[in-house]
Each structure stands twice: as C-alpha cells, then as structure tokens.
C-alpha cells in the first residue's frame, strides 16, 4: 500500500504521457502484488518498464517482485537496469545496495567457491552504494557482514563502526560488532560495545535481545537473562527472545524456567524460524529430561 500511495502521489501534469502510463501500470502491479497475484504483478511491472525504460521505481518494484519469488538473476537484472537509468545518486546507490543483497542470497545455497565469488560481488555493490551515498548505513552493515563471512575482521570492524557513526540507532551494528569481538576473545571490548549500544538504544528490543545473546555467548548467564527479560517487556511478541532466555536459564541450571521458555518458544515458532534453532531448543529440552 505504501508503494501505491507514493506512486499515485508522483503523477502530475509535468510528466510525459509515457511516464504517466508507466505509473498507471506500476500502480496496477502494486495492487496485484497486494492481492498475492504475482503473475499479474510481474506482467504489469514489465509493461511499466516497457512504457518508460527510464522509470526507476518500475525497475525497483520489478526487482522486488523477482526477489520475493527467489528469481535472483532476474532481480539482479532489474536492479542493474534501474541503476543505469536512475538520475538521483541516492536512489542509484540504493539500487546498488539491493543488488548486493541479491548476490548474497544467490550464493547462500551454492558451493563455497561460488558463494565466495558472489560475496565479493556483493561487497563491490555495497561499495558502489556507499560511494553514491556515504550515509547508507545499511550498506555499511551488509558490507561488514560480508567481510566477516570472508574472515576479514579488520574490514568488518571498520564497517560496523562506520555504520554506528552514521546511525547509532541501528542496534544490529552494535550487536554484530560486539559478537565479532567476543568471537575473537576480546570480551572487554565486546562488553564495551554492547554497553554503548544500550546507552543509545536502551528501549530497543533488538538491542536487548542482542545483548542477551552476547552475554550468553561469553558465559555471563545472569546478565543474559536480565537483557532477554527486558527485551520481552519491550516486545512480548518477539519469539526468538524466548529461545535465548530458555537457553540462558538452562546454562544457569534453572530447569523450570528453561523448560517453560523453550517450550513456549517451540509452541510459538513459525515457519520463518530456522530449523537449526528449533532443533537446538528441542535438544536442550531433551538434555534436561535426561538429567532427571
């Protein structure tokens, strides 16, 4: 609906006939997608692009449609086309950012060598996005994660820090930087980053959940429990917190609370929850049963 409202807003008398007709087709694509009619949505989006190949928003929506269907090569082609015709540097940067995400998604299920090649392509796309718009904190964050996966902690560190400088309200940058430090055994630095993140985002459920996860990883279970419980107070529907809280209670040898939270997690976890996380919860429950 947001796309629809925005596209309708930009139609005006100063536009050429082709752009007006293209916007009309894009509106139709948005409406079809809202009804989950992907065939009609793609058809209308293609017509929008054909009517006006310089219509950046039509390319962007086309890319979104293909990405949603996991047609990554088609999504990449749409974003590449949009980047070439978009006159705004900021919007062109976002096309590069989206292209980077497509490369990462494309490589996720491929063999290691191919995945590495696509990760490097993603880094190049994120770099292009940052060059066009240095304030694109999401591009810094995604590039940091890509560097981290490629075992380049120094580059990841630099990007996480730049992400924090650009947008200190984006808690994921604090959490992942702290996790990076903790993974390399720099516990004091990891805790300092988490504390800085909490100072900037005290009432952020993601920040609290991330803090809980980091303290759980370094074996400070009581502190992990505090932060997980705070996250649930802020967002009672945040299902993944129940997993962390249950695991923290299990590590703290509080069987009753561990069983209660892990059971609630498994009850509420939906198809979007990774199977590995569900298995870890079931394994933890089984271990506690075996200990009786």
What average pLDDT score do residues 41-58 get?
A: 96
**Percent helix, strand, coil in the chain (nearest 5)?**
80, 0, 20
* In the predicted structure, residue 1 carries a pLDDT above the cut 90: no
Residue 80 maps to a domain: no
From its phi and psi, is residue 116 left (phi > 0), alpha (psi between -120 and 50) or beta? alpha
* In the predicted structure, residue 4 carries a pLDDT above the cut 50: no
Per-residue CA distances from 19 to 2, 35, 171, 260 (Å)? 20, 24, 39, 57
What average pLDDT score do residues 37-45 get?
A: 96
pLDDT interval class at 173 (50, 70, 90): very high
The pLDDT > 70 percentage for the chain reads: 94
Residue 273 maps to a domain: no
> On the CB side of 267, how many CA atoms lie within 13 Å of its CA?
8
Tell me what pLDDT residue 14 has: 53
Residue 49 maps to a domain: yes
- In this structure, what DSSP letter does residue 273 have? S
For residue 66, what are the domain limits? 1-73
Query: Can you tell me the distance from the alpha carbon of 125 to that of 145, in angstroms, rounded to the nearest whole number?
Result: 14
**Relative orientation angle of helices 205-217 and 171-183, to the nearest 10 degrees:** 0
* In the predicted structure, residue 110 carries a pLDDT above the cut 70: yes
Query: Can you tell me the distance from the alpha carbon of 118 to that of 104, in angstroms, rounded to the nearest whole number?
Result: 6
Query: Can you tell me the distance from the alpha carbon of 63 to that of 37, in angstroms, rounded to the nearest whole number?
Result: 16
Q: What is the domain count for the chain? A: 1
pLDDT interval class at 288 (50, 70, 90): confident
Tell me what pLDDT residue 18 has: 86
- What confidence tens digit (pLDDT) does each residue in 6-17 have? 444 345 555 688
Element (H, E) at 290: helix 275-290
Mean pLDDT over the full length of the chain: 93
Task: Tell me the whole-structure pTM to 2 decimals.
Answer: 0.88
Residue 64 maps to a domain: yes
Cα 14 to the center of its chain, rounded Å: 37
Helix (H, G, I), strand (E, B) or coil at 203: coil
Residue 5 maps to a domain: yes
Tell me what pLDDT residue 100 has: 98
- What confidence tens digit (pLDDT) does each residue in 57-81 have? 999 999 999 999 999 999 999 999 9
Tell me what pLDDT residue 258 has: 95
- What confidence tens digit (pLDDT) does each residue in 213-223 have? 999 999 999 99
What separation, in Å, do the N-terminal and C-terminal C-alpha atoms of the chain show? Answer: 53
Query: Can you tell me the distance from the alpha carbon of 141 to that of 130, in angstroms, rounded to the nearest whole number?
Result: 11
Tell me what pLDDT residue 16 has: 82
Tell me what pLDDT residue 43 has: 97
What average pLDDT score do residues 173-180 get?
A: 97
User: Which residues, including other chains, have CB under 8 Å from residue 102's CB and lie 6 or more apart?
Assistant: 63, 67, 72, 75, 76, 79
Tell me what pLDDT residue 11 has: 52
Residue 60 maps to a domain: yes
Contact yes or no for 60/95 (Cβ under 8 A): yes
What average pLDDT score do residues 158-169 get?
A: 97
* In the predicted structure, residue 292 carries a pLDDT above the cut 60: no
Query: Can you tell me the distance from the alpha carbon of 13 to that of 53, in angstroms, rounded to the nearest whole number?
Result: 19
**CATH for 45:** 1.25.40
Q: What is the 3-state secondary structure (H, E, C) of 63-92?
A: HHHHHHCCCHHHHHHHHHHHHHHCCCHHHH
Residue 3 maps to a domain: yes
* In the predicted structure, residue 265 carries a pLDDT above the cut 90: yes
Contact yes or no for 211/239 (Cβ under 8 A): no
Residue 37 maps to a domain: yes
């Amino acid at each position: 609906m947001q796309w629809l409202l925005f596209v309708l807003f930009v139609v005006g008398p100063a536009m050429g006939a082709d752009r007006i007709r293209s916007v009309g087709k894009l509106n139709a694509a948005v409406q079809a997608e809202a009804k989950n009619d992907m065939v009609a949505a793609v058809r209308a989006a293609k017509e929008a692009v054909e009517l006006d190949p310089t219509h950046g928003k039509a390319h962007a929506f086309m890319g979104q449609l293909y990405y949603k269907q996991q047609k990554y090569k088609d999504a990449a082609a749409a974003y590449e086309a949009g980047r070439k015709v978009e006159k705004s540097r900021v919007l062109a940067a976002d096309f590069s950012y989206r292209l980077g995400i497509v490369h990462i998604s494309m490589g996720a299920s491929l063999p290691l060598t191919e995945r590495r090649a696509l990760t490097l392509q993603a880094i190049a796309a994120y770099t292009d996005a940052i060059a066009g718009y240095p304030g694109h904190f999401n591009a810094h964050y995604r590039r940091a994660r890509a560097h981290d996966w490629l075992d380049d902690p120094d580059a990841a560190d630099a990007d996480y820090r730049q992400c924090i400088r650009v947008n200190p309200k984006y808690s994921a940058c604090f959490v992942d930087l702290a996790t990076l430090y903790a993974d390399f055994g720099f516990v004091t630095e990891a805790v300092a980053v988490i504390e800085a993140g909490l100072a900037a985002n005290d009432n952020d459920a993601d920040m609290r959940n991330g803090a809980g996860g980091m303290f759980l990883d370094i074996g400070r279970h009581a502190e992990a429990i505090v932060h997980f419980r705070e996250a649930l107070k802020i967002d009672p529907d945040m299902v993944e917190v129940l997993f962390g809280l249950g695991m923290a209670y299990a590590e703290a040898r509080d069987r009753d609370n561990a069983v209660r939270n892990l059971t609630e997690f498994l009850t509420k976890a939906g198809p979007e929850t990774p199977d590995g996380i569900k298995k870890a919860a079931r394994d933890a429950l089984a271990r506690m049963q075996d200990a009786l």
